[in-house]
Amino acid sequence: MNGRELLESTLARAKAGNRAALVGYLPAGFPTVEGAVRGAVAMAEGGCDVIEIGLPHSDPVLDGPVIQTADDLALRGGLRTADVIRTIRDVSAATGAPVLCMTYWNPVHAYGPERFAAGLAAAGGAGCILVDLPVEEAGEWLRAAALHGLATVFLAAPSSTDGRLAEIAAVSSGFVYAASLMGVTGTRETVGVEAAGLVSRVRATTDLPVCVGVGVSDAAQAAEVAGFADGVIVGTAFVRRLLDAPGLAAGVDAVRDLARDLAEGLDRTVTTA
């Protein structure tokens, strides 16, 4: 089973179990390379079905201040793309969960799309979430991803037209990432009111699962999103647990506890549009 197939089967198993999948995000290299591995493994131990490992970038236009802080610490620590791939390898081996790399296009382009795809697949990665790559310019990556059995997840925004959503869905694999609101990542008091409508609009164009992220930070919000989406994506809340902890061990425990709290609220009857 290749990485894309593992992701697909994991999401299908969650749906068959009448629950939304929990997708957890942490950037590689934060607070250290090994610390990120421990944190990601703890997310899986707490109940995350899918793990996203971020590739820290010097110009993270989608990310809010919490993730920007973590990315900056990772880059100041000397993180390299090879360290990101190694993190994915270690997390995949320790958990057996599908592990995606969430990244901007520039680092992949600089590393070499074919080289990156080959390394990611060899590390047991499931694929990439490409934050800022337009579908019209994705041909080189899509060919490399297909060659190595990787999923490619594109983002859909509330501002996207129905035609644009169809274009995004047509080239996506694994799932479609529905941003719950316009703006950068970060915790919010409420989930964007446009999220349910966006999920419905995406489902009108594809049979792929639709997972919602951006702004989901606690169990109540996760349960709300689970009522209309196939998966719930949480990032900033996990990163904040590590940032606020007095030490790595306490941070890892806090990450595991948060994953457990979030996962407990995701059992539900799937609502289809």
Alpha helix ranges (H) inside 17-135: 33-46, 65-76, 81-95, 105-111, 113-122
| The pLDDT value given to residue 188 | 44
Does the pTM exceed 0.75? Answer: yes
Residues 243, 152: Cα–Cα separation, whole Å:
29
What is the DSSP secondary-structure string of 233-260?
A: EE-HHHHHHHHHSSSHHHHHHHHHHHHH
Closest to 18 in 3D by CA, of 267, 273, 272: 267
Sequence-distant (6+) residues with CB within 8 A of 90 are 37
Give the pLDDT of the chain (273 residues) as one tens digit per residue. Answer: 999 999 999 999 999 999 999 999 999 999 999 999 999 999 999 999 999 999 998 876 667 789 999 999 999 999 999 999 999 999 999 999 999 999 999 999 999 999 999 999 999 999 999 999 999 999 999 999 999 999 999 999 888 999 999 999 999 999 999 987 544 444 445 555 678 999 999 999 999 999 998 778 888 889 999 999 999 999 999 999 999 999 999 999 999 999 999 999 887 543 443
| The pLDDT value given to residue 271 | 41
Q: Tell me which architecture the domain covering 3-263 has in CATH.
A: Alpha-Beta Barrel (3.20)
| The pLDDT value given to residue 60 | 65
Sequence-distant (6+) residues with CB within 8 A of 269 are 18
Residues 168, 151: Cα–Cα separation, whole Å:
14
**Residue linked to tokens 């089973």:** 1
CA 10 from chain center: how many Å? 14
> What letter does residue 265 receive in the DSSP assignment?
T
φ and ψ at 265, to 5 degrees?
-95, 5
| The pLDDT value given to residue 52 | 98
Active centre residues (catalytic): 52, 63
| The pLDDT value given to residue 115 | 98
Q: Which tokens belong to 13? A: 């198993």
Torsion of CA 241, 98, 48, 248, to 10 degrees: -30
φ and ψ at 13, to 5 degrees?
-65, -40
| The pLDDT value given to residue 187 | 44
